[in-house]
Amino acid sequence: MRWLWPTRRALLGGGLATAGLAAFGLHRVNARPPVPGGPVRLTVEARRVDSFRPGDPGRQRFGALVFRGGLQLKADYEGFGGFSGLAFADDGRLVAVSDAAEWFVARPARQGDRLVGLAEAMMAPMLAGNGVPLAATAAYDTESLTIAGGTAYVGVERVHQILRFDWARSGVAARAERLAVPDEARRLPRNRGFEAIGVAPRGSPVAGAIVAIAERSDEEETVGFIIGGRRPGRFAFSRRDGFDVTDLAFLPGGDLIVLERRYVPPFSIGMRIRHIEGRALVPGAVLDGMALIEADNGYEIDNMEGLAVRRAAGETILTVISDNNFSMMQRTLLLEFALAP
């Protein structure tokens, strides 16, 4: 979801907000970038984030997670940013989708267990089934991503679609195939659609199904859908403390990790990650779970919208990325955490 947040980190006391908005205008803050004609190679500038809480640089454990470092990303390309969905391909490359219907692909560079940069970076337009860029169609607001079995699944807000791409065969040149979704999903609020998507792994009661959760469909609960598989149906996800769902990912055994974001105008931003037991995910359930971490403006966060889970060196690593809304006042952050033993 896009929203007008004119600043980051309390706008350095507020003065920058007034100057920035006066100079650039509200209409420029969230302007959609032009559609590229094809893949674009990028050089990504990456500044290391070594401390998750700047006021406590020696601290590494936060709740049930251990901070493994991160990056603040920039690139000299107008379409860079707006990243709302995140996954890792089978070859280890990072794949993200922007909410302007572009792919972002890069190979992480690491020193030990720490991110130090991104190499081989590129962005490319996502393609509709007829080869037209999605950005030129009604399905331009791509908000969620998962890759499973060589197939990429993308959730689209506003038109409430799920698109399938043959990632293993074609990569960024893959063309979208539209999947059937429940009729109820078509009645979601226009800008509160499929914000989170995943494919349930073995060990889940709904193994093999696509699991999608709306950003917010009600004040106390938001709706989720189990699409395909042997037990399709509807479930609900319990909302707490004003947080909205922004992404999900599955642990290898079937447990669910849900990323949430809270925004209170004009300056307050929050991130929370919750853990849901996999056995609870069945049609008709109301899911709730333990918070693994919660952070506010005092931490190195922004509008955190994308989540991916992977295994590395015996650890479970959670990677999150922020959507900067294509605003010069916000940041693109890529952060990694390990589940504490």
Tokens (6 digits) for 167: 């990632």
Instruction: Pick left, alpha or beta for residue 3 (phi over 0 → left; psi -120 to 50 → alpha; otherwise beta).
Output: beta
Residue 1 has pLDDT above 80, yes or no: no
Task: Report pLDDT digits (tens) over 112-139.
Answer: 889 999 999 999 999 999 999 999 999 9
pLDDT range class, residue 9, cuts 50, 70, 90: very low
Contact (CB, 8 A) for 49 and 9: no
CA distance 146 to 16: 37
Q: Say what the alpha-carbon torsion angle 120, 123, 129, 132 is, to the nearest 10 degrees.
A: -140
**Sheet order of strands, 286-287 included:** 194-199, 210-214, 221-227, 233-238, 286-287
pLDDT band for position 8 (50/70/90)? Answer: very low
User: 61 — phi, psi (to 5°)?
Assistant: -95, 135
> 3-state SS of the chain: helix, strand, coil percent to 5?
10, 45, 40
- Give, in order, the Cα–Cα distances in Å from 258 to each of 2, 164, 222, 309: 19, 22, 13, 11
pLDDT recorded at residue 202: 94
**Per-residue model confidence as pLDDT tens digits over 178-195:** 999 999 998 887 777 899
Mean pLDDT of 190-207: 92
Q: Render pLDDT for 57-67 as a digit per residue (tens, 0 to 9).
A: 999 999 999 99
Q: Using an 8 Å Cβ cutoff, are 257 and 245 in contact?
A: no
Given a cut of 70, is residue 204 above it in pLDDT?
yes
Domains of the chain are 9-339 (2.115.10)
pLDDT for the residue 31 = 64
Q: Residue 23: what pLDDT? A: 31
**In this prediction, what percent of the chain has a pLDDT beyond 70?**
91
Question: Which ranges of 1-90 would DSSP assign to H, the alpha helix?
Answer: 15-24, 26-29
In sequence order, which residues have a C-beta less than 8 Å from that of residue 236 and are 6 or more positions away? Answer: 221, 222, 223, 224, 285, 286, 287
